[in-house]
Each structure stands twice: as structure tokens, then as C-alpha cells.
Structure 1
Amino acid sequence: MDQALAPDLSRMDVASPGLAIDGLGLRHGARVIFRDLSMSIDGGTFVVLLGASGVGKSSLLKIVAGLSRPSQGTVRATDGKPLAGRIAYMGQQDLLYPWLNVIENVMLGARLRGQRRDRDRASYLLGRVGLAERAQALPSELSGGMRQRAAIARTLYEDRPFVLMDEPFSALDTFTRAQVQDLAAELLVGKTALLITHDPLEACRLGHHLVLLSGAPATLSAPITVRGTTPRPADDPDLLHTQGHLMRLLTEAHES
């Protein structure tokens, strides 16, 4: 599709509302995963959450998405309206329906809600993630990286004010990963986004603020602000400085 004919995928002049996480706690039996987690995300900002495997990052994201219930605390939008129906969520698994082709999987949300499916929008996104020629393929015909790109396109298709993504680029090769990171940074302008990653470079390229979850029970660090406009070049001096600082913090958290 010609760029001039591309659908309006982000309304850059209208920032999404913010997100307030207040006193969240989660317990599995006698084990306390985290308690009293609080964080404010300003509207239209991209926050990246990092931490060791098993510390509770995915659990926190699912609570924010409304897919799990916390033991205590609340999550709310700062505009006072319900979060339900305003969140686009991408988990670690692509969860593509095996009997639907790629483009139908991208439009799945609209289909389940009984809404009109926008094939032009879906085609545009598939082109942007490099899957234009696989639009009619079934998920079984795709590689793991292709499936993940299809899931990313499906998440972006939803065009929700709140976007939650759990390691969305983990299965992609280095070059494709950078391309799709750039796409996410472009199309999520104005959205309130919370992304989980284990990759400090990815965090520094995309995030306005970086937050570490560490410890047992887990606690949230103070936000680390990254200067510059996203997506930042990998050789940007501010990015390299922040990446080094972040690596030191992650190492210290792992060793403590």
C-alpha cells in the first residue's frame, strides 16, 4: 500500500490517559511475589519494565491487563474511565488461531466483537512488519519470528489507548527486531505503553522511562529517564550511557 494511502494508525495530537498502579500485591499460597507496588505512568509515555526471570513482571502485566486479580491494590486510568475495553495486550505466546490465516488473525479482535473488519488497515500493518506476502498463510506455515510479527500487527491493529506487551520482539533476528522496534515506536506515539523486555538495548531504544522489578518480595525501582527521541540509534551516546548504568543495576539486583 502506498504510504500516502496508509490508514491513520495513530492520532499523534491526542495523548492517551495515564495509568496509576496503587499498592498492588500478589501472593501465591504462602509466597509473596510482590506487595505495595505503586507506579504512575503519564499519558502518552512508553515505560519499559525489566528484571530477572520469575521475579513477577508478567504477573504484574496481567494484573494491569485485567487478566489476573491482585491480592491487594488497584489499577486505574487517570481519566477516571474504566480500563476494560481500552487495553491492547500481547503476551509471550503469539496465540494465533491455527484455522485462520494471517490477515484474519490480525483482525481477530474486531471479529470477536462483531465489528467491521478493516482489511486495508490490517494489510498496511502486515506490510510494515514484512508479512504482506504471507497474509493468506496459516500460522502453521510461518516461522516463530513470523508468528510473533503477526501477533505484533494484531496488537497494533487494535489501536487502544493502553498497550501492554510482554517480550514482543524476543523471537526476531537482530535486523528484523530493530525494524519492528522502529515500527512500534512510530505507531505507539501518543499511546500509554508498558513493555517487558530482558534486553537493555531494546529498553533504551524504546522507553521514555525504565523501571526495574527485583527482590523477593519484588519492589519497583525509581524510574530511569532516557534522553532523546525514540527510537534511539543504537550508537547514541545517551543510550550507551544509560545502557551501561542499566546493566550495572541489573547485575547488582541479580547478585543481591
Structure 2
Amino acid sequence: MTAALTFRNVDIVFGNKPRAALDLLDAGKTRDEIIAATGQVVGVADASLTVESGEICVLMGLSGSGKSTLLRSVNRLNETARGDVIVTHEGRDINVATCDAKTLRDLRSRGVAMVFQQFALLPWRTVRDNVGLGLELRGASKAERDRIVTEKLEMVGLGQWAGKYAHELSGGMQQRVGLARAFATDADILLMDEPFSALDPLIRAKLQDELLDLQAKLKKTILFVSHDLDEAIKLGNRIVIMEGGRIVQAGTAQDIVLRPADGYVAEFVRHMNPLEGLRAASVMTPLADIPRDGAVLEPCSVSKLRLTLHADGTVASVTHGATALPGTIVAAASVNGARQGAAAVTVRGDAPLKQAVALRHAENCPILVLDDADALLGTICEPEIFRALLRV
């Protein structure tokens, strides 16, 4: 993987005496102590993070945790008091914290685009003109603007609304305009500051799905701020939890849910439904830990599951219960078409646990977790499901 965005020991201070705040920060003073002593507000403290090219990285935390403050340092809407914010753009690394005005303008017009929570559409401009604003500011010709804007509006399903104004659109449609405007710049990095939080749940879920569909095609690097854990788990390749301006944990949803770094993170994820957030590979018994009797593996004594493998690690035969059903495996991605009498069902390691449990329920047989080459990674039986649900 290639880094698209790197934060190195970033401190952000709001106030006219940042040095005084930094000295107290280095002395180990808390945010509240620094405010009391200097009147300066520490927005972000010693934040280090790498965002890989093509990933969606979600910043989370309670209000005032620093997530939006950190995001806005990428295009220098928030100044960095200390540390580096490195954006990789057109083959070179640019330190946004210290670059000159011309470099920053170029980065804002071509390298980094932003989607705001409150849509930020200009009410006197049509949908078409709002989407083309960034192109217009960087001097693109009318013909080029028209071509790109038409393409991006079609991409977000608003081709027939090009001549309308913001007040004629629903909230969800206005946010689609914001997405189209960001995509129109062809920026490699998208900054999305709680873009769906002002929308009702059904529209929010639909736009989340649409964003994932677009991301599958465009493969942008997205830094996404959210206060909704379910949204973060749905969208994020990685989740970063912030508290008091500091990053307290960064990792996959499985890392955050199963191995919270401290009590704050544990409380943050306590009400999350593990069926939605966990993946099959994160709860399975790995192949190396499955008990075996010679060439036969016995991963679950409760269900009397027995497996034999080929030399390449693929499954040769499976028996489940008293009846031997060698080779009878349902290779399915959903419960549709599930067959009765199967020895086991199979899922990929990155399959949602909810999908695996649904297959388990439909077939009443254990789950084999396979990699993309159909080699066995591990198994899921009742004990693994119970442990995941109880988080023990």
C-alpha cells in the first residue's frame, strides 16, 4: 500500500498564543489546564496517522474530540501549530502545514476536495454551476466544464436536475450535488465532514450505499468524519477513535470492537451490534488452532464436525453429525438457494458475521471460512458465535 496522507505529531491550537499552549502540552498539562492558564484551546494533540491510497478512513469521537479539526488541517482550513501534514499529490509529498500559498491553492483545486455537512451550495447558482465551481475557479474551459459536470451529475443520478437550484432539491439530492462537485475536481483525496448526518436515516443509508458503489469504481482516498459507529463500520476500511484531541486507537472495526484500547473506546463501541461490524475471519477458530487426529480435523465436538484437507489446504471432505456427507459443501454468499443436508456452509474471511450466522441458521450446519483460493482459514461453530455476541 502507498500512503496518500500522513499526519506526523500534529498539534493544532486555537488562539493567538499557541507557543504557550504547546509548552504546557509538552509539560503534560491537560486541555482544561491549558485553557485555564493561557486561554488557548488545544484542538489536536500529537496526532500521528497514515491514510493509505484508496482507503476510507473514518475519524470518530465525541463532540470536541478533534476529529473535524484534524480533517480540516489537510486543506489548511485549520492551521497546524506543530507537526507535519503530508499529502502525496502528483508524485510528490507536500507538507500542507508549511507549503507556500501557490502550492496550497493548487492542492485545494486539484489534489484535495471537501464535502461539507450542510451541503454548502451557492443558492444563486444552478446545480450545474455549483458542480462546476471548482473547475471554473481553476480556469477550465466551458467545454471542459460542461463535459465533466454532465458526467459527474449522471454518476450521482442528477442528470435531469442540472438546471435546478438548491432550494428545489431535497436534502439528499443537495448532498449528491456536493458529492458531484467534489468528484468533478478529480482530486485524489476527499475530505468528508459528517456529510450525511443532517439527513434522515433512510436517505443516509442510501447515500452510504451510493458512496461505497462510487468508491468501488473511483478508488479515492477518503478521510471521513462521523459520530455514528454503525456508519463508520459500514464505510470505513479503518476507524480512528479520538478523545480530547488525541488519537486513542486506530484499526479495523474488528480491532476496535474486539480489542478496545481503553475504557473510553470500550464504552464507545458497547452498544454496537457485533453481527453488523465483525467479519467471519475475526471470530473463527483459525486452522492452526483446530484440534486434529492425524489428517482429520475436529473443530467442533458439539456438532461432531470432521474435516479432511487436500495438500493445498482445500477441503477434501466434511462430515457433520452421525451421517457422513463427504464433499457436500454449500459455497454460498447468502442464504438464497441454501440446500438441506449440506455438511457445511462456506464464507470468505471478509464476509460479515451476520451473513455467516444467517447461513448457519438456514442450513443448521457449521461454517467453513475460506480464502480467495478456497483454502481453509478456519471454522465457526456455536462457541465462536456466542463469544462474538458476548465479546468474551
TM-score over 0.5 (shorter chain): yes
CA–CA distance in structure 1, aligned partners of residues 353 and 229 of structure 2? 10
CA–CA distance in structure 1, aligned partners of residues 56 and 170 of structure 2? 29
Q: How do 1:136-155 residues align onto structure 2 when only pairs under 5 Å count?
A: 136-155=163-182
Given the alignment of the two structures, is residue 54 of structure 1 paired with residue 64 of structure 2, yes or no? yes
Runs of 4+ in 1 over 6 A off after TM superposition: none
CA–CA distance in structure 2, aligned partners of residues 92 and 100 of structure 1? 19
Give the letter for the 1:32 counterpart. Answer: V
Give the letter for the 1:212 counterpart. Answer: I
Asked whether the 8 Å contact 2:10–2:48 carries over to 1, the reply is: yes
CA–CA distance in structure 2, aligned partners of residues 237 and 37 of structure 1? 27
Q: Secondary structure of 2:249's partner? A: coil
Structure 1 residues 130 and 191 mapped into 2: Cα distance closer, same or farther (>3 Å)? Answer: closer
Structure 2 unaligned regions, length at least 5:
16-39, 97-103, 255-274, 280-351, 355-392
| 1:71-111 Cα distance to aligned partner (Å, 9 max, x none) | 11110135543364211112223221222100111111111
CA–CA distance in structure 2, aligned partners of residues 53 and 210 of structure 1? 16
More displaced stretch, 116-125 vs 84-93: 116-125
Q: 1:224 aligns with which of 251, 260, 267?
A: 251
CA–CA distance in structure 1, aligned partners of residues 200 and 156 of structure 2? 13
More displaced stretch, 53-62 vs 142-151: 142-151
Greater fraction of residues in strand: 2
Partner of 2:259: none
CA drift at 1:61 = 1.1
Percent of residue pairs bearing the same amino acid type: 36
Partner of 1:163: 190
Q: How do 1:1-256 residues align onto structure 2 when only pairs under 5 Å count?
A: 17-29=3-15, 30-78=40-88, 80-82=92-94, 84=104, 85=107, 86-116=111-141, 117-188=144-215, 189-215=218-244, 218-226=245-253, 235=276, 237-238=278-279
CA–CA distance in structure 1, aligned partners of residues 222 and 235 of structure 2? 10
Structure 1 unaligned regions, length at least 5:
1-14, 228-233, 242-256
Residue correspondences, number: 219
Asked whether the 8 Å contact 1:17–1:161 carries over to 2, the reply is: no
CA–CA distance in structure 2, aligned partners of residues 225 and 197 of structure 1? 15
Partner of 1:253: none
Q: Secondary structure of 2:68's partner? A: helix
CA–CA distance in structure 2, aligned partners of residues 77 and 161 of structure 1? 10
CA–CA distance in structure 2, aligned partners of residues 226 and 210 of structure 1? 6
Give the letter for the 2:50 counterpart. Answer: S
CA drift at 1:46 = 1.2
Aligned CA RMSD, in angstroms, stands at: 2.5
CA–CA distance in structure 2, aligned partners of residues 221 and 192 of structure 1? 22
Q: Secondary structure of 1:222's partner? A: strand
Q: Secondary structure of 1:159's partner? A: coil
Asked whether the 8 Å contact 1:44–1:190 carries over to 2, the reply is: yes
CA–CA distance in structure 1, aligned partners of residues 187 and 79 of structure 2? 21
CA drift at 1:138 = 1.2
